[in-house]
Amino acid sequence: MSEARSPLGGAVCQGEGAKVEELPAQGMVTLRGAMGDIADAVTAAIGLSMPSQREIVIAGDKAVAWMSPDELLLLMPHAEVQACLTTLSERLDGTHHLAVDVSDARAVFRISGAGAREVLARLCPADLSPAAFGPGELRRTRLAQVPAAFWIDEAGAFRLICFRSVARYAFDVLCGAARGAPVGFFPESDAV
């Protein structure tokens, strides 16, 4: 088995408002099917309860995110993906579903610091006020010119995923948005 490499080799940039880091290879499984049919298998495979609409359930190095009415994203350490897929295929034998390892298809970024919310607000048309978006939610949206999704991790920093093919573009626009000082648009920001 070849060694998994993140697309940018752990690129980091420290702006005045926030820090942007590309994270090492993250295990990711896309699971599609009727939510009611796949719930038990998800719990068996990853040990977490099912997220409801737009939710992400996080515990340590694992998470389950609601991506659409018939799609979940399972996050886990890269080395646990095969075991997860095996459990899913056993539990879902005979159930209409799709479970695919998409770890290598994506790039993952961490955006931390007092200006993290502003960094995303500069690039995404989503409502990023703390009242509208907080921990426990996953938002799929547009990051400048590419699709992306983000959530808030257990430490209060933002995690963002996008397609691997646009990792450099995403990193560059994130760093550009993080370069300037925060303007204080979200004074009550709770990100660390």
- Asked if residue 142 binds another protein (CB under 8 A), the reply is yes
| Three-state SS at 23 | coil
Smaller CB distance to another protein: residue 25 or 149? 149
The least distance separating another protein from the CB of residue 144, rounded to whole angstroms, comes to: 10
The least distance separating another protein from the CB of residue 125, rounded to whole angstroms, comes to: 3
Nearest to 21 by CA among 6, 1, 36, 40: 6
> What's the one-letter identity of residue 169?
Y
- Asked if residue 68 binds another protein (CB under 8 A), the reply is yes
Sheet-wide strand order for 71-77: 56-59, 62-68, 71-77, 26-33, 97-101
- Asked if residue 126 binds another protein (CB under 8 A), the reply is yes
- Asked if residue 67 binds another protein (CB under 8 A), the reply is yes
Q: How many CA atoms lie within 13 A of 152 on its CB side?
A: 19
- Pick from 30, 39, 71, 77: which binds another protein (CB under 8 A)? 71
**Which residues of this chain interact with another protein, rule CB under 8 A?**
53-54, 67-69, 71, 125-127, 139-142, 147
